Structure 1
Amino acid sequence: MSKIYIQGTFGAYSHLAALEIELNAEVIPCKTFDECFVKVSSESGSRMVIPESNRITGNIGIEYLIFKYRLNIYAEHFQIIEHNLLGQPGTSLKDIKDVFSHTQGLSQCSNFIKKNNFIEHVRADTAGSAEAISKTKIKSEAAIASSLSAKIYKLKILAPNIENEKGNATRFLVMGKEVYQPDFGDKKYITSFLFKLKSKPAALYQSLGGFAINGVNLTKLQSYSEQNSFESYFFLCDLDGHIEDPKVQKSLEELGLHCRDFHVLGVFEADKFREK
């Protein structure tokens, strides 16, 4: 049985994603994202399932850890986010006054919360909120969390699918210490990498020319300041294609001429969710 580390507690959306990726994996919760990266960096054969971005609310904020630890990305997984209002067994919607969840869970269900005049309480994560109210057993308190949380903490789903927008999804990355990439074949691939440019005028503009010339599509390009500096930036980038594709190789060679740091994070098959 393989180990998969997640941030949060049992019942978190990361837990749900891990089970969809490998049903029989040993899922191990960590308190922080940092702890996940430290554990996987020190253990051969273990992996982590970590949220990278949400379709509605954007980046989760793990970029600095990706840059620091440089673990290999094996796969991406898009998890549909369906929020539920969870309460004590025997209660109903009219009993609820206070609602607890992660700030993103609250914001993604703001219409439902306003409609019912609930008082919001921000907590560290969704599943942790469910666990907390299962212990306090106060009839007027509810949590916004997954249906898996309801099952684990023996709570009642008072209202299912209360999110503002249906079809919301979080992109998770499966990462580990060992370097692995699939053979180049007739499939859709993503190559993920990070780079830091040499300090010179128009460096970014010049560095990206190779992608345009070779017809390589960039699906993600984001800049982040390094170590609280507004003078040194690194970039995270995803492109459509396999690193062994000659067009991709030529593009990356051109980029390399302008870099003082370049690192391939992973080559993996594109999730079929992208085609929806």
Structure 2
Amino acid sequence: MSKIYFQGTFGAYSHLAALSIDPKAEVVPCKTFDDCFVQASKDTNSKIIIPESNRITGNIGIEYLIFEYRLNIYAEYFQKIEHNLLGIPGTKVSEIKDVYSHAQALSQCSKFIKSNNLTEHVRADTAGSAEMVSISKDKSKAAIASSLSAKTYNLEIIKNNIENEKGNLTRFLVMGKKILQPEFSGKKYITSFLFKLKSKPAALYQSLGGFAINGVNLTKLQSYPEKNSFDSFFFLCDLDGHIEEPRVQKSLEDLGLHCQDFHVLGVFEADKQREINK
């Protein structure tokens, strides 16, 4: 049986995403994102599923771990985020005074929270908030979390789909120590890599010219400072295409001329959700 590590507790959106990817896998919770990466580095037969960005609130903030551990990316998965107000069975919305959840979930449900005059309490994760409410048995407390959390902690969905905007998605990455790469065929692929440029004027501008010349579309380009540094940056990048395509190879060769550090993180099929959201 395969093993998938995720950050949080049972019932988290990461847990939901792991079950969607591999329903038969052994799903193992970790306290932090760092723990997930450490486990996958030690256990070569395991995978981790990590939220990378959210459609509304942006980056989750795990880029430094991607840079440090350089695990291979096997897949991307877009999980629909549907927030629910969970409480002790039999509770009415009017009885609830305090609501607990992750900061991003609270932000994504701000309109509902304000219209019901609820007091926000930030917690480490959504599922952990649901577990706390369940243990408290206090009808004045509620959590914002997934429907899976409601089942896991015997809570009732007092109000479903309370998010400000419908159709919210979180992009998850499935990663591991082993290097696996799909063969190039007629499917749509993403090639993900990181690089650090040589220190010279206009280095970024010059390094990206090869992508334009070769007609390669960059779907993600983000800079991050190296640890304990404000003048040394690395870049995370995704492009449309498979690394075996000649135009992709040529553009990466051109980039390499300007790099001090270059590392391919993975080649994987593009999630079908990308086409839906165009």
Q: Same fold (TM over 0.5)?
A: yes
1:274 maps to a residue whose letter is: R
CA drift of 1:56 comes to 0.3
CA drift of 1:86 comes to 0.2
**Secondary structure of 2:138's partner?**
coil
The residue that corresponds to 2:47 in the other structure is: 47
2:253 maps to a residue whose letter is: E
Q: Give CA deviations for 1:70-110 in whole Å, capped at 9, x if unaligned.
A: 00000000000000000001211111010000000100000
**Secondary structure of 2:133's partner?**
helix
Find runs of 4+ consecutive structure 1 residues off by over 6 angstroms. Answer: none
The residue that corresponds to 2:8 in the other structure is: 8
Structure 1 CA distance, aligned partners of 2:187 and 2:138? 52
**Secondary structure of 1:164's partner?**
coil
2:23 maps to a residue whose letter is: L
2:182 maps to a residue whose letter is: P
Q: Give CA deviations for 1:1-38 in whole Å, capped at 9, x if unaligned.
A: 11000000000000000000001110000000000000
Structure 2 CA distance, aligned partners of 1:114 and 1:173? 33
1:133 maps to a residue whose letter is: V
Q: Give CA deviations for 1:173-230 in whole Å, capped at 9, x if unaligned.
A: 0000000000000010000000000000000000000000000000000000001311
1:60 maps to a residue whose letter is: I
**Secondary structure of 1:48's partner?**
strand
Query: Structure 1 stretches of 5 or more lacking a match?
Result: none
What is the RMSD computed on CA atoms of the aligned residues?
0.4
The residue that corresponds to 1:77 in the other structure is: 77
The residue that corresponds to 2:159 in the other structure is: 159
Structure 1 CA distance, aligned partners of 2:56 and 2:39? 30
The residue that corresponds to 1:88 in the other structure is: 88
Report how many aligned residue pairs link the two structures. Answer: 276
The residue that corresponds to 2:196 in the other structure is: 196
Structure 2 CA distance, aligned partners of 1:255 and 1:121? 46
2:246 maps to a residue whose letter is: P
**Secondary structure of 2:5's partner?**
strand
Query: Structure 2 stretches of 5 or more lacking a match?
Result: none
Structure 1 CA distance, aligned partners of 2:183 and 2:24? 26
Describe how 1:15-54 pairs up with structure 2 within 5 A. 15-54=15-54
The residue that corresponds to 1:63 in the other structure is: 63
TM-score normalised by L of structure 1:
1.00
1:247 maps to a residue whose letter is: R
